Amino acid sequence: MVFTAPSDLSGGLYFLNGKRTTVEASETFDVIEPRIGKVVAQCPKATAQIVDEYVKVASAAQPAWGETTALDRGKVLHKVADLIREHAEELAVWEVKTNGKPIYEARCDIASSADTFDFFGGIATAVLQGDSLELPGGPSQRIAYTRREPYGVIGCIGAWNYPFQTCVWKVAPALAAGNSVVYKPSPFAPASPVLLGEILTAAGVPDGVYNVIQGEGEAGIALCEHQLVAKVSFTGSVASGEAVQRQSATKNVKPVTLELGGKSELIIFDDSNVQSAVAAAMLANFLNQGQVCTNATRVFVQRGILASFTEAIVKEANEKLKVGDPLLEDTRVGANINEGHLQRILGYVESAKQEGGVVLRGGERVHPEGVEGGAYFDPAIITGLTDEAKAVREEIFGACMLILPFDTEEEVIARANNTTYGLAAGVFSGNLARGHRVAARLQAGTVFINTYNDTEVNVPFGGFKNSGHGRENCIDTLRAHTQTKAIYVNVQDTTEHCF
């Protein structure tokens, strides 16, 4: 099969046995194109019976895939990477239509997705090795060895902010380790995993190894509870993550990876280079319309640099944050995912104003020419809030930077850590010793020193505290998609007992 990017969604948003398809179901949800804010399709919601059918297909296909060598699976995954690169521009345009992000960002997501397949395909043979273990008495009596075996079916559930990349981060390690997958995307961005399915088939992933179901929470619950699903990998909010962990222990006990929300901080000390700190604060707040789990909306700025930083960040934002049609090359801020989410963000701006916040720029809905129906928001920079304000405590998941002054290192570490989240954090300082010292004390899964929002496929990604557990994007992630079997061997001619 050759991959050709579809021109519309008419081929169905389910994926089963190597093909796009659809299902019969009494309930549907609206598929909305965020760029224009219009309903472009209706998608059936998977019932528990449909989930059961898809999981059984994945379960039947897994053993043969799991028995291929890691080297052979790696070769297939390298082909997937090549196909993604070959079709990068078509996939980027689909990602814009699916999510509303600017095309220049979508291109980065697609490029890094190809790298993810190359990474896991490349390391599979080396990492999926067992150990040989010496036992008392030496190898002439007994030995033990371990094997890293796939779990079976991995149930994956994704969020909507990086639809293609989130799917790839879960699917690449799962397949490299010899598992099969049933993936449920967010109903707000359902198309990307189906396009990935067609690429996987074209690259040689056997039919049934990768499957996609659609729906809301109910489909996710059915997937978590299914007895043939051996592990769950979830990306989404803390509230849903808590439910997923509970659900994954109702019928049988499954390991769960949770990549959840955040309320991260960027700490800027007064010995920082202001222009570089401004660049990091832009990266920490305004990528993907602010809909980034690691975003540092809490920008703590030491008082000595507060006035110059504030003036510079407002100037930079005014000059660079062009809100517009995400398919245009010069657009830097595209559409929010939907109207409901925009209203939520506007609600946080309103609550900030009511709690003494001063909006220094943006903070309002805009209607860019040609795409007036989408949910567009001019990114906000807000000052004057205390740590108790609702916007400072809760995840906004939108483009709202909150500037919070501080005086001392001790004070800012305590304030930064005073959250139930722990996904990411940033430290900016001209003093690298301080950078490392503060990084060690921040309770976060990723800390950026003099930079922000870097993401590399070989570096672990995941949260502390309520931001989740388990990691994506690294060697450990591949191991976490296997279970270790220990095998004892008696190499003597006889076996004795102790009775």
What amino acid positions are annotated as catalytic residues? 259, 293
Give me the count of residues in the chain: 499
CB 344 to ligand NAD: min, Å: 10
DSSP codes, 167-204: HHHHHHHHHHTT-EEEEE--TTS-SHHHHHHHHHHHHT
Return the H-helix or E-strand segment holding 403: strand 400-406
List of residues contacting ligand NAD (CB under 6 A): 157-161, 184, 186-187, 216-217, 220-221, 224, 235-237, 240, 243-244, 247, 259-262, 293, 395, 397, 423, 463, 468
Q: Of 165 and 310, which has the nearer Cβ to ligand NAD?
A: 165
CA 83 to each of CA 33, 62, 107, 163, 457: distance values in angstroms, whole numbers, following the listed order: 25, 23, 14, 18, 18
Q: Of 187 and 368, which has the nearer Cβ to ligand NAD?
A: 187
CB 478 to ligand NAD: min, Å: 17
Nearest by Cα to 220 from 45, 471, 95: 45
C-alpha–C-alpha distance, residues 360 and 405, integer Å = 15
CB 157 to ligand NAD: min, Å: 5
The answer for 384, left when phi > 0, alpha when psi is -120 to 50, beta otherwise, is left
Nearest by Cα to 55 from 182, 219, 170: 182
393 DSSP assignment: H
CB 423 to ligand NAD: min, Å: 6
- CB nearest ligand NAD: which residue? 220
C-alpha–C-alpha distance, residues 478 and 229, integer Å = 18
Q: Of 18 and 468, which has the nearer Cβ to ligand NAD?
A: 468
C-alpha–C-alpha distance, residues 286 and 282, integer Å = 6
* Main-chain phi, psi angles of 431, to 5 degrees: -110, 100
Q: Of 293 and 389, which has the nearer Cβ to ligand NAD?
A: 293
287 DSSP assignment: G
Q: Decide if 450 contacts 428 (C-beta within 8 A).
A: yes
CB 349 to ligand NAD: min, Å: 18
CB 462 to ligand NAD: min, Å: 7
CB 482 to ligand NAD: min, Å: 21
Q: Of 11 and 217, which has the nearer Cβ to ligand NAD?
A: 217
Can you give the three-state secondary structure of 435-488, one letter per residue?
HHHHHHHCCCCEEEECCCCCCCCCCCECCCHHHEECCECCHHHHHCCEEEEEEE
Q: Of 32 and 244, which has the nearer Cβ to ligand NAD?
A: 244
Q: Of 221 and 280, which has the nearer Cβ to ligand NAD?
A: 221
Environment class of 62 (CB within 10 Å of its CB; exposed 0-12, middle 13-18, buried 19+): buried
Q: Of 180 and 235, which has the nearer Cβ to ligand NAD?
A: 235
Contacts of 372 (CB under 8 A, 6+ apart): none
Question: What is the rounded radius of gyration, in angstroms, for the C-alpha atoms of the chain?
Answer: 24
C-alpha–C-alpha distance, residues 173 and 123, integer Å = 10
CB 337 to ligand NAD: min, Å: 8
* Main-chain phi, psi angles of 383, to 5 degrees: -130, 175
